[in-house]
């Protein structure tokens, strides 16, 4: 089997009561239709009412681990960026 005709797909599943799609795993399939069917067998055990997304792995752009520092590191020396120490007034309900 060559993986050329059977590229890798990433599978995202939303369970029946779930709020969002979660990455469930990956699989090989010749096209999106077949990827959906295979994902249903592999990752949902055919639970009714779930939603499946399949995406060709090649379509996903990931952040690079090398750029982790400049990309994700918050500026810890600027406390005004971290509004964690404000006191919440009693009347505020949905914060």
Q: Which residues bind other proteins (CB under 8 A)?
A: 1, 6, 27-30, 33-34, 37-38, 41-42, 46
Distance, CA of 54 to chain centre = 11
The two structure tokens encoding residue 61: 């752009």
| Between 23 and 82, CB nearer to other proteins | 23
| Between 8 and 58, CB nearer to other proteins | 8
3-state secondary structure the chain: CCCCCCCEEEEEEECCCCCCCEEEEEEECCCHHHHHHHHHHHHHCCCCCCEEEEEEHHHCCCCCHHHHHHHHCCCCCCHHHCCCCCCCCCCCCCC
| Between 34 and 52, CB nearer to other proteins | 34
Residue 64 Cβ, how far from other proteins at the closest point, in Å? 30
| Between 47 and 71, CB nearer to other proteins | 47
Residue 42 Cβ, how far from other proteins at the closest point, in Å? 6
Residue 15 Cβ, how far from other proteins at the closest point, in Å? 19
């Amino acid at each position: 089997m060559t993986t050329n005709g059977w590229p890798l797909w990433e599978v995202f599943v939303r369970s029946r009561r779930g709020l969002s799609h979660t990455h469930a795993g990956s699989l090989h399939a010749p096209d999106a239709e077949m990827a959906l069917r295979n994902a249903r067998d592999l990752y949902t055990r055919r639970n009714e009412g779930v939603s499946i997304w399949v995406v060709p792995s090649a379509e996903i752009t990931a952040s690079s681990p090398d750029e982790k520092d400049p990309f994700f590191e918050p500026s810890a020396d600027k406390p005004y960026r971290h509004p964690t120490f404000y006191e919440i007034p009693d009347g505020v309900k949905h914060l």
